[in-house]
Amino acid sequence: MSKSTTVNRRICLKGVGTALALPLLDAMGWAEASEKNAFKPPVRLGFMYMPHGVIMDQFWPTNAESFLTSPPPSLDSLRPVLDQCLLMKGISGVPTSPYGGAPHALELSTWLTATLPNPDKRDEISIAISADQIAANYVGAFTTLPSLELATMPQTWKENQEGLNEAYYSHCSFRSPTQAVPAETNPRNVLNRLFNKQEKNGSSASTGMSPLDRSMLDLVLGGARDLRRTLAPTDQRKLDEYLDSVRSVERRIAAIELRQKEAAMEKAGVRSSRRHASDSPPIEIKIPEGDRRSDYMQVMCDLNVLAFQTDTTRVCTYIGSTPNGVSYPELGFNDQHHSTTHHNNNPEKVRKVAAITAFNVEQFAYMVEKMHSLREGDGTLLDNCIMMWGSGLENGDKHTRANLPFIIAGRGGGSIETGRFLPDVKGNQGDLLTTLLTLAGIPLDRPVGIATKQIAEIAANS
């Protein structure tokens, strides 16, 4: 590679009021590495959450030998990338005493902290810094955003089990023991952050254009064409694929916004000029409880992918839903997730809970497959990620936490051996989080939460 083709990793494509980070190109290797040391992509950490536990006999594989060829129903959507996944049974949750009556305040708040809230300050936030923020404190200085927090639902649930602060029900990220990190639920706002697009008074950016009228990508394509001419063919292909994916995400967000706008107009008695008088009114899509919940979740997953692909951040959390108050009409029923998990072995309720679990795993599989399809360095984006999906309860009916469901995807830059089911792991969620941070190269001055060790079986060549 000639000196003239070197591209600094910090370069971005700029337009009026817009800046777009680039994916990691081969040409960037020379910007941070000497000729003797080939560039190695950074390891990213992602966490995706689902509340209320799983139907255990439909989630856990029958045995380690059949894991890859005959996965249980809840994991069927992961078939194309099971060889990129690691499943462990035997990870216990934080003991809940003295909060026996607060399972849903604890399931999310302890998920990444592995720590119980302070019983002497129940009405305040007093817990521990979460694993994602521990990582962000170390790697955040190298990226535009130290971390990215996403959610499908507003973090507004009001309940006070055992007198605990309401924030415990809807937050998994804690910047400090006393400060919860809010998550973004609006995909347009997330896209603007990734583009570094400046907003004024809540309106569109300084171009004066509505996001429905003009793509932000159009503002930077001139710079992209100039850059493309300086790149090798492999990097040209990466740049083209990346810009296509950005445009795809923006179009999907715009479509969601347009449906919302038309639904609001219809509700106000104004008929869209694009529709015939005999047409049925458009459905009113509400964030986060639209009829196509998967649309929003997949857009958020794509934004996570884009953030990692451009090295805009190396740490992301995504709360797929929070305890209580959510339903899944696109699965053919409107029962709320929480009430359905109290099934008392009723076959129909069990079926619905299993369907909700499979749906959430499917969204995770969507994100993991996309990461696996993107080339980066000598492998794929997924190869350089550690993606954790899980829940803060094992069994939502009994609120048990003996075997919390976790799926790990990605090889963490070669530090994790995937394609396995470990049926008899001995450890707790603090041990798991401590292990994952260590494998991601995060130096720790103490274990995470209740951790007492690292889980050696997770590591490659263990």
Domain with 104 in it: what CATH number?
3.40.720.10
pLDDT reported for residue 195: 67
**Per-residue pLDDT for the chain (462 aa), expressed as one digit of tens each?**
334 455 555 555 555 455 556 666 666 653 444 444 556 889 999 999 999 999 999 999 999 999 999 999 999 999 999 999 999 999 999 999 999 888 988 999 999 999 999 999 999 999 999 999 999 999 988 888 899 999 988 877 677 788 999 999 999 999 999 999 999 998 888 877 876 655 544 443 433 334 433 455 565 555 666 677 778 887 777 777 767 666 666 666 665 565 556 556 666 666 544 443 433 344 333 343 445 888 889 989 988 998 898 888 999 999 998 877 688 999 999 999 999 999 999 999 999 999 999 999 999 999 999 999 988 888 999 999 999 999 999 999 999 999 999 999 999 999 999 999 999 999 999 999 999 999 999 999 999 999 999 999 999 986
Establish if 403 belongs to a structural domain. Answer: yes
Q: What is the DSSP letter of 278?
A: T
Tokens 């990097």 — which residue? 235
The boundaries of the domain holding residue 394 are: 41-185+287-458
pLDDT reported for residue 2: 39
In 3D space, the residue among 83, 68, 107, 36 whose CA is nearest the CA of residue 409 turns out to be 83
Distance CA 186, CA 53 (A): 26
pLDDT reported for residue 36: 47
Question: Residues with Cβ < 8 Å from 155, sequence gap 6 or more?
Answer: 167, 170, 171, 182, 183, 185, 322
Establish if 72 belongs to a structural domain. Answer: yes
Establish if 181 belongs to a structural domain. Answer: yes
pLDDT reported for residue 9: 53
Greatest distance between any 2 Cα atoms in the chain: 69
Distance CA 161, CA 101 (A): 6
Question: Residues with Cβ < 8 Å from 242, sequence gap 6 or more?
Answer: 22, 23, 309, 310
Establish if 282 belongs to a structural domain. Answer: no
Establish if 206 belongs to a structural domain. Answer: no
Count of alpha carbons within 13 angstroms of residue 130, beta-carbon side: 27
Establish if 345 belongs to a structural domain. Answer: yes
Establish if 73 belongs to a structural domain. Answer: yes
Contact 409, 84 (CB under 8 A): yes
User: How many structural domains does the chain have?
Assistant: 1
Establish if 212 belongs to a structural domain. Answer: no
Contact 173, 132 (CB under 8 A): yes
Q: What is the DSSP letter of 275?
A: S
79 alpha-carbon distance from chain centroid: 20
This prediction's pTM: 0.79
Contact 72, 408 (CB under 8 A): no
Listing DSSP states for 182-208 in one string gives P-B--HHHHHHHHHT--BSTTS-BTT-
Distance CA 181, CA 447 (A): 21
